[in-house]
């Protein structure tokens, strides 16, 4: 018994050939892909315009959480502020570890101290940064 293919047209189930069914779904998938690409690239379409040529006021990319972005920006600024309050040696260690991806071992070699000494300094600096951040975020 051959397989039967159906599409829904205006809520009605309509029997179609296998070829029409496959073409329809290929086009649907391609359309969905293009919409995802447009959304990813933040593309606004002419269909988003009202009859006067203005973008609808309710166009919102729901994938973007503006409050979260602002919160993260504030946290980044707080971290920068806290780091600016460290002394030169503390800043150097934090920048090497977290901004230049250096290891504790490489920093210890360059500073001619033991691994444990750098690890202790790192932990001490992080505690200090935590206190500074708590103070800043009050």
Q: What is the pLDDT of residues 83-106, one digit of tens each?
A: 899 999 999 999 898 888 899 999
Q: Kindly report, residue by residue over 37-51, the tens digit of the pLDDT.
A: 777 776 655 555 555
Please tell me the pTM assigned to this model. 0.52
* Tally of CB atoms within 10 A around 121: 19
- List C-alpha distances in Å: 91 to 8, 41, 87, 96, 128: 65, 37, 6, 8, 12
- List C-alpha distances in Å: 62 to 42, 57, 58, 89: 12, 14, 11, 44
Fold of the 66-136 domain: Arc Repressor Mutant, subunit A (1.10.10)
User: Domain residue spans in the chain?
Assistant: 5-48, 66-136
Q: How far is residue 87 CA from its own chain's centroid?
A: 32
DSSP class of 55: B
What phi and psi values does residue 16 have, to the nearest 5 degrees? -135, 170
Q: Kindly report, residue by residue over 105-114, the tens digit of the pLDDT.
A: 999 999 999 9
Contact criterion met (CB below 8 Å) for 79 and 133: yes
Contact criterion met (CB below 8 Å) for 133 and 78: yes
């Amino acid at each position: 018994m051959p397989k039967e293919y159906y599409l829904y047209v205006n809520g009605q189930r309509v029997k179609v050939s296998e070829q029409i069914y496959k073409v329809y779904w290929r086009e649907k998938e391609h359309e969905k892909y293009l919409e995802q690409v447009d959304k990813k690239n933040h593309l606004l379409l002419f269909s988003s315009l009202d009859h006067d040529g203005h973008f609808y006021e309710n166009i919102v990319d729901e994938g973007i959480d503006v409050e979260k972005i602002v919160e993260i920006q504030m946290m980044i600024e707080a971290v920068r502020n806290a780091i600016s309050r460290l002394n030169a040696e503390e800043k150097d260690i934090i920048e090497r570890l977290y901004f230049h991806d250096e290891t504790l071992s490489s920093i210890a070699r360059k500073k001619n101290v033991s691994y444990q000494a750098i690890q202790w300094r790192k932990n001490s600096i992080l505690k200090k940064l935590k206190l500074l951040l708590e103070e800043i975020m009050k």
